[in-house]
Amino acid sequence: MIVLGLLLAAAGLSRLVLPADDVSAAGAPRYPALKTTKPSGLYFDRVTMSDGLSHYVLRFSNTVWNDGEGRLELQGDPKPDGSNKVYQNVYDALTGGTRVSQTHVSSDIVYHPSHYHYHFQGFASYLMLQRDSAGVYQPTTKKGTKTGFCIMDSNHISSQGPSSAQYGSCNGSLQGISVGWGDLYQGSLPEQWIDLGTSRLADGYYAIQSTA
């Protein structure tokens, strides 16, 4: 018997924020704080991987949302030669306002051919845990690839923040998540899974750890 239940969800808190460069003409910076909701819509599937073999995978939907004081805004500079850069813009207001800083945070922006748009790489990661004889959930070797997201306001998680989506679509140059909004990745999407290998998952109690 395999038991997954609602799982030990996962709330990895992460701030993609850095000190402001120049705040002389602006108010105090408002930073984002990212969380994940409980993975949902779990189901097993089989996928042919790059090794040419059919792997069992656990698919699920996952939402990363912004519980901070300010929007998450990432500005990409994708180039054909691969010398890509990603900047974080920090503002002094929930919407509009003055940009307090623009800081280089990563060089991981790539075009995702299965999704037909650019992704910021390593935006979320997934790990399967298994309950041991003492009732403690321990990490296993089964995990998802570090997931790249094309981030946007796809669903309103809390009453804080703007009432309408400020980042309604995603592209290669500017993406973000408003305060109180989340970006939902459906389990049916390519690579939105944990790879279980070429054998079925053994009976037991499991949980998924989702970290943003």
pTM over 0.75: yes
Q: What is the pLDDT of residue 29?
A: 95
Q: What is the pLDDT of residue 68?
A: 96
Identify the burial level of 87 via C-beta atoms within 10 angstroms of its C-beta, where 0-12 means exposed, 13-18 middle and 19 or more buried. middle
Q: What is the pLDDT of residue 22?
A: 47
Closest C-alpha to 44, from 78, 72, 4: 4
pLDDT in tens, 57-95: 999 999 999 999 999 998 876 666 656 677 889 999 999
In the chain, the amino acid numbered 204 is G
Cα–Cα dist 158/38, whole Å = 15
Domain count, the chain: 1
- The region that residue 166 occupies, defined by phi over 0 for left and psi between -120 and 50 for alpha, beta otherwise, is alpha
Q: What is the pLDDT of residue 145?
A: 66
Sites in the chain below the pLDDT cut of 50: 1, 5-23, 115-116
Domain membership of residue 49 as a residue range: 2-211
